[in-house]
């Protein structure tokens, strides 16, 4: 085993002689290395390490602790009144500065499709004085308030570029006049109030309806008036009876009582009868169509008397009672309106 | 045997609990190296049918999420020599494996390589009253095995039914529902020194871990290093460790013999240190970098710097040829293989149908070992690396990790042991009557 013998011939006969070294040139003895620390974790470190590996503990340390610290710092910092005021003041200032920038300012308001009265009301409804920031104008709320005006059907509000608040208004169109105990009102075709009127002459072109609850049945009333056709010139108006059915009132105190259900058909029937027999030109003050199976025409006094005269019966007086022929000599005769 | 039954059942329940939780650690405490694998059990659903991955004996159920190995301390011949030191080593390795895995591990399965294992083949036979093998009969026939005197302080580590026979029909692996009049079984029992096993249990408990199973290192390295055909046809696995050399013999996918020689690679290093008068660490480096077993003419010319830090220039600058190193190593390896040969002779390995020998363990990496082993043990010798398992890092695929990997395989696909079968009903009754009697005597 060569190499084991340090100073044997193998070493001596080697090609390389041993280096010449002087005693002082010997390498310094190696500094005593510090004893190596035990690589094993201590029992305590091991247990702590295992505890930290628990999912709950990990979450507590990684999420809970930073959150708690942040809340603690924020709480301590905010516990001082001055700091809190400074903070809120600063935030408010920033918000103000952004909201009052030139690009967000509303300078004028344009209103389309509104009558002067509505126009004035709309301008009065704007909660702020122009110019104002668009953040201060709550369009949804404003729209709700505008829609509370009776004369306005729809309104389209938008803030256009260059600071224009544009309102496109559709007004309600009055379709009918409604006379009730407290005056006269204009209603649109759905029965919604548009405005009040001082007298019937304000809108002579509109038909008139009357009676309690007439505004709730405006579409039906309009349909009836549309269907009136040939008797339209004679119509004075429609009256709501008992909040359930219509009476068609004609001139010469004539009245067509319509049923609650199927009023339109009943009216068409009456018109047909009129066309066939000129019923409405005769002395018939009331045509009662409330029961479709049994239409009733009430004869006027003159017509009844004409019949009674022809039969040789005593005539009837205005109170509906037969006039005693003995007394009948004294009063003046009939004025002769025989229908 | 009853306490053992209860203890092993408790350990099995612990293992099931750990598998349900999904994370379990595997600990191979060797003489020179202690390795820990952290296994994550995802269940079989992680692969779809279309992936082409079948059940693969449970290997597709788990993956390795953390590995660590460190130098073992306080171990000799595969047994714990200094308890506190070994405990520190276990703490180190478990902490670093947990760090890699990022999860806390509470259950550990360990293997023990030394502790003087002894193999016994037991046979039992019962008559079948119903003419058919029922579930109960399997347990009964296992309980009827004649148990020899294992000696004082011995504990059963494995008790595996190897073979069942109904009447004349032998070689059954599952005898249930077979018709016949007699049921016989062969059981392989591996016992180890109880105190050594107790020390291991104590060390693991001291590290706040629950022990979920113990296996023999020779057995599990056979599971990892032998391929399926070798296990079926018959093979011996020789695990060349540093303190012990484990031998296990398999046939028909069952271990039929296991033993360990108390001699290993550590002795080779000691020989080099003594023979070349170098320190132990230098000798280890020489062995791993330049070691070999077959000297050629070229090795005479290849000079190796010994190195060292003695501080003496002349001593540290010595050179030896590689042939010298081989000359020191070879006799010791021959001695180890001779002992292995004796163990194989005692096991009757020569009568096996297929005499395949697989060398694994850290010592199997010595160049030229296969040629030497082929000359000494038989022609069918190969060097076995452990099976690849999912998630295993490359540096843990060396042969030295075969027992750790085998332990992981055993965890995923446990072998039926005697205590996995229900205890026979009559033994239950006797136990409870005895308990009742004792309770009455103590209280009145």
Domains of chain A plus CATH, in order, are 102-169 (3.10.20.310), 174-298 (3.40.50.11690), 306-339 (no CATH)
**Boundary residue ending a domain (B135, B168, B194):** B194
Task: Give the number of A-B residue pairs with CB atoms closer than 8 Å.
Answer: 55
Residues of B with CB under 8 A from a CB of A: 70, 73, 88-89, 91-92, 95, 98-99, 102-104, 207-208, 275-277, 303, 306, 309, 311, 313-315, 318-321, 324, 327
Q: Is B185 domain-assigned?
A: yes
Residue B381 has pLDDT above 80, yes or no: yes
Asked if the ipTM is above 0.95, the reply is: no
Q: For A46, which of B91, B275, B324 is closest by C-beta distance?
A: B91
Q: Is B402 domain-assigned?
A: no
CB-count burial class (<10 Å; 0-12, 13-18, 19+) for A257: buried
Q: Which residues, at least 6 apart from A34, have a Cβ–Cβ distance to it below 8 Å?
A: none
At B8 the pLDDT is 81
Residue A253 has pLDDT above 60, yes or no: yes
Q: For A2, which of B104, B277, B321 is closest by C-beta distance?
A: B321
The range of the structural domain enclosing residue B183 comes to 118-194
Decide if A3 and B306 are in contact by the 8 Å CB cutoff: yes
Closest CA of chain A from B91, distance in Å: 7
Per the structure, how many domains does chain B have?
Answer: 2
The mean per-residue pLDDT over the stretch B112-126 comes to: 90
Who has greater pLDDT, A175 or B68?
Answer: B68
Among B6, B3, B262, residue whose Cα is nearest residue B114: B262
- Cα A153 to Cα B229, B231, B245, distances in angstroms: 92, 93, 101
Residue A142 has pLDDT above 70, yes or no: yes
A22 CB near a chain B CB, below 8 Å? Answer: no
Q: How far apart are the first and last CA of chain B?
A: 30
Q: Is B182 domain-assigned?
A: yes
Residue B96 has pLDDT above 90, yes or no: yes
Rounded Cα–Cα distance for residues B434 and B287 (Å): 60
At A105 the pLDDT is 83
Rounded Cα–Cα distance for residues A253 and A247 (Å): 12
Question: Range with the lowest mean pLDDT among A81-85, A118-122, B148-152, B220-224?
Answer: A118-122
User: 3-class SS at A173?
Assistant: coil
Decide if B95 and A39 are in contact by the 8 Å CB cutoff: no
* Cα dihedral sign, B228-B231-B235-B239: positive
Residue B360 has pLDDT above 90, yes or no: yes
Q: For B311, which of A2, A3, A30 is closest by C-beta distance?
A: A30
Residue B46 has pLDDT above 70, yes or no: no
The structure tokens listed for A248 are: 């068609």
A41 CB near a chain B CB, below 8 Å? Answer: yes
Residue A2 has pLDDT above 70, yes or no: no
Residue A126 has pLDDT above 60, yes or no: yes
Among B187, B184, B196, B212, residue whose Cα is nearest residue B24: B212
Residue A268 has pLDDT above 90, yes or no: no
- Cα B102 to Cα A49, B24, B292, distances in angstroms: 11, 13, 40
Who has greater pLDDT, A169 or B75?
Answer: B75
Residue B430 has pLDDT above 90, yes or no: no
pLDDT tens, residue by residue, B158-216: 888 998 999 888 888 888 888 888 889 999 999 999 888 889 989 999 998 988 889 99
Residue A11 has pLDDT above 70, yes or no: no
**Boundary residue ending a domain (B194, B228, B250):** B194
Decide if B314 and A29 are in contact by the 8 Å CB cutoff: no
CATH number of the domain at B302, please: 3.30.420.40
Say which DSSP state A235 is in.
E
Residue A58 has pLDDT above 90, yes or no: no
Decide if B91 and A27 are in contact by the 8 Å CB cutoff: no
Q: Is B226 domain-assigned?
A: no
Q: Tell me the pLDDT band of A135, cut-offs 50, 70 and 90.
A: confident
Rounded Cα–Cα distance for residues B259 and B339 (Å): 11
Question: Range with the lowest mean pLDDT among A108-122, B164-178, B357-371, B429-443?
Answer: B429-443
Contact B385, B224 (CB under 8 A): no
At B321 the pLDDT is 93
DSSP A65-104: HHHHHHHHHHHHHHTSHHHHHHHHHHHHHHHHHHHTSGGG
Mean pLDDT of chain B: 87
Q: Find the residue in A nearest to B274 (Cα).
A: A4
3-state secondary structure chain B: CHHHHHHHHHHHHHHHHHHHHCEEEEEEECCCEEEEEEEEECCHHHCCHHHCCCCHHHCCCEEEEEEEEEECCCEECCEECCHHHHHHHHHHHHHHHHHHHCCCCCEEEEEECCCCCEEEEEEEEEECCCCECCHHHHHHHHHCCCCCCCCCCEEEEEEEEEEEEECCEEEECCCCCCECCEEEEEEEEEEEEHHHHHHHHHHHHHCCCEEEEEEEHHHHHHHHHCCHHHHHHCEEEEEECCCCEEEEEEECCEEEEEEEECCCHHHHHHHHHHHHCCCHHHHHHHHHHHCCCCCCHHHHHCEEECCCCCCCHHHHCCEEEHHHHHHHHHHHHHHHHHHHHHHHHHCCHHHCCCCEEEEECHHHHCCCHHHHHHHHHCCCEEECCCCCCCCCCHHHCCHHHHHHHHHHHHHHCCCCCHHHCCCCHHHHHHHHHHHHHHHHHHHC
Among A198, A201, A239, A234, residue whose Cα is nearest residue A221: A239
At B429 the pLDDT is 56
Q: Is B304 domain-assigned?
A: yes
Contact A105, A131 (CB under 8 A): yes
Rounded Cα–Cα distance for residues A296 and B320 (Å): 143
**Boundary residue ending a domain (B194, B211, B226):** B194
Q: Tell me the pLDDT band of A108, cut-offs 50, 70 and 90.
A: confident
What is the number of other CB atoms lying within 10 angstroms of the CB of residue B428? Answer: 11
Residues of B in contact with A56 (CB under 8 A): none
Q: Tell me the pLDDT band of B43, cut-offs 50, 70 and 90.
A: low
At A338 the pLDDT is 45
The mean per-residue pLDDT over the stretch A272-301 comes to: 86
Question: Range with the lowest mean pLDDT among A125-139, B133-147, B333-347, B392-406?
Answer: A125-139
Decide if A41 and B95 are in contact by the 8 Å CB cutoff: yes
Residue A311 has pLDDT above 50, yes or no: yes
Q: For A41, which of B91, B102, B320 is closest by C-beta distance?
A: B91
Residues of chain B with pLDDT > 70, as a percent, come to: 93
Decide if B318 and A6 are in contact by the 8 Å CB cutoff: yes
CATH number of the domain at B183, please: 3.30.1490.110
pLDDT tens, residue by residue, B278-300: 999 999 999 999 999 998 889 88
Beta-strand runs (E) in chain A: 105-106, 108-112, 132-133, 152-160, 164-171, 174-180, 183-188, 193-197, 208-210, 235-241, 245-250, 255-257, 286-288, 296-298
Closest CA of chain B from A17, distance in Å: 13
Residues of A in contact with B306 (CB under 8 A): 3
Q: Is B220 domain-assigned?
A: no
The mean per-residue pLDDT over the stretch B125-142 comes to: 85
The structure tokens listed for B56 are: 């693969």
Backbone dihedral angles phi then psi of residue B364, each to the nearest 5 degrees: -75, -5
Q: How far is CA B192 from the centre of its chain?
A: 12
């Amino acid at each position: 085993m060569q190499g084991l013998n340090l100073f044997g011939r193998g070493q001596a006969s080697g090609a390389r002689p041993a280096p010449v070294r002087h005693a002082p040139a010997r390498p310094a003895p190696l500094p005593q290395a510090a004893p190596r620390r035990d690589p094993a974790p201590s029992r305590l470190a091991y247990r702590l390490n295992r505890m930290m590996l628990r999912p709950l503990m990990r979450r507590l340390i990684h999420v809970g602790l930073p959150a708690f610290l942040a809340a603690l710092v924020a709480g301590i910092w905010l516990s001082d009144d001055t700091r809190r005021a400074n903070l809120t003041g600063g935030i408010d200032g920033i918000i103000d500065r952004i909201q009052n920038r030139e690009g967000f300012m509303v300078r004028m308001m344009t209103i389309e499709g509104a009558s002067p009265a509505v126009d004035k009301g709309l301008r009065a409804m704007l909660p702020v004085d122009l110019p104002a920031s668009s953040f201060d104008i709550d369009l949804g709320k404003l729209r709700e308030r505008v829609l509370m005006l009776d004369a306005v059907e729809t309104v389209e509000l938008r803030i256009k570029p260059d600071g224009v608040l544009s309102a496109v208004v559709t007004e309600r169109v009055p379709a009918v006049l409604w006379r009730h105990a407290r005056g006269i009102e204009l209603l649109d075709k759905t029965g919604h109030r548009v405005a009040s009127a001082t007298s019937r002459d304000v809108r002579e072109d509109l038909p008139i309806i009357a009676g309690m609850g007439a505004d709730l049945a405006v579409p039906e009333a309009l349909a009836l008036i549309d269907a009136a056709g040939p008797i339209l010139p004679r119509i004075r108006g429609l009256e709501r009876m008992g909040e359930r059915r219509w009476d068609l009132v004609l001139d010469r105190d004539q009245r067509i009582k319509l049923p609650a259900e199927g009023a339109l058909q009943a009216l068409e029937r009456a018109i047909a009868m009129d066309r066939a027999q000129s019923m409405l030109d005769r002395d018939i003050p009331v045509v009662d169509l409330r029961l479709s199976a049994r239409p009733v025409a009430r004869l006027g006094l003159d017509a009844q008397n004409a019949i009674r005269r022809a039969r040789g019966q005593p005539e009837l007086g205005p109170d509906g009672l037969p006039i005693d022929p003995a007394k009948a000599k004294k009063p003046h005769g009939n004025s002769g309106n025989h229908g | 045997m009853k306490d053992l039954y209860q203890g092993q059942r408790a350990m099995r329940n612990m293992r099931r609990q750990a598998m349900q939780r999904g994370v379990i650690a595997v600990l191979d405490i060797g003489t020179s190296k202690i390795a820990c694998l952290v296994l994550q059990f995802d269940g079989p659903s992680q692969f779809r049918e279309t992936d082409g991955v079948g059940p693969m004996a449970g290997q597709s159920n788990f993956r390795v999420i953390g590995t660590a190995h460190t130098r073992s301390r306080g171990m000799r011949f595969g047994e714990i020599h200094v308890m506190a030191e070994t405990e520190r080593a276990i703490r180190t390795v478990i902490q670093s494996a947990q760090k890699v895995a990022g999860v806390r591990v509470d259950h550990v399965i360990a293997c023990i390589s030394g502790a003087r294992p002894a193999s016994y083949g037991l046979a039992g036979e019962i008559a079948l009253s119903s003419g058919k093998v029922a579930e109960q009969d399997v347990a009964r026939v296992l309980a009827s095995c004649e148990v020899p005197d294992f000696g004082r302080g011995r504990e059963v580590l494995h008790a595996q039914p190897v073979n069942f026979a109904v009447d004349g029909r032998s070689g059954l692996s599952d005898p249930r529902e077979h018709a016949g009049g007699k049921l016989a079984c062969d059981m392989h029992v591996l016992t180890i020194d109880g105190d050594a096993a107790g020390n291991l249990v104590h060390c693991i408990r001291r590290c706040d871990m629950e022990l979920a199973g113990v296996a023999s290192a020779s057995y599990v390295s056979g599971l990892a290093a032998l391929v399926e055909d070798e296990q079926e046809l018959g093979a011996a696995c020789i695990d060349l460790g540093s303190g012990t050399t484990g031998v296990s013999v398999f046939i028909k996918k069952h271990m039929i013999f296991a033993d360990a020689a108390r001699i290993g690679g550590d002795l080779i290093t000691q020989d080099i240190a003594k023979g070349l008068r170098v320190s132990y660490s230098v000798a280890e480096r020489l062995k791993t970098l330049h070691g070999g077993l077959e000297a050629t003419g070229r090795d005479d010319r290849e000079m190796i710097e010994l190195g060292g830090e003695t501080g003496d220039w002349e001593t540290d600058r010595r050179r030896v040829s590689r042939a010298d190193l081989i000359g020191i190593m070879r006799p010791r390896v021959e001695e180890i293989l001779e002992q292995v040969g004796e163990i194989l002779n005692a096991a009757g390995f020569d009568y096996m149908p297929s005499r395949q020998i697989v060398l694994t363990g850290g010592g199997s990496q010595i160049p030229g070992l296969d040629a030497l082993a082929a000359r000494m043990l038989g022609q069918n010798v190969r060097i076995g690396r452990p099976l690849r398992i999912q998630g295993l890092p490359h540096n843990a695929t060396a042969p030295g990790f075969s027992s750790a990997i085998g332990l992981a395989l055993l965890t995923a696909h446990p072998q039926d042991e005697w205590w996995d079968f229900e205890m026979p009903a009559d033994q239950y009754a006797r136990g409870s009557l005895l308990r009742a009697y004792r309770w009455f005597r103590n209280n009145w």
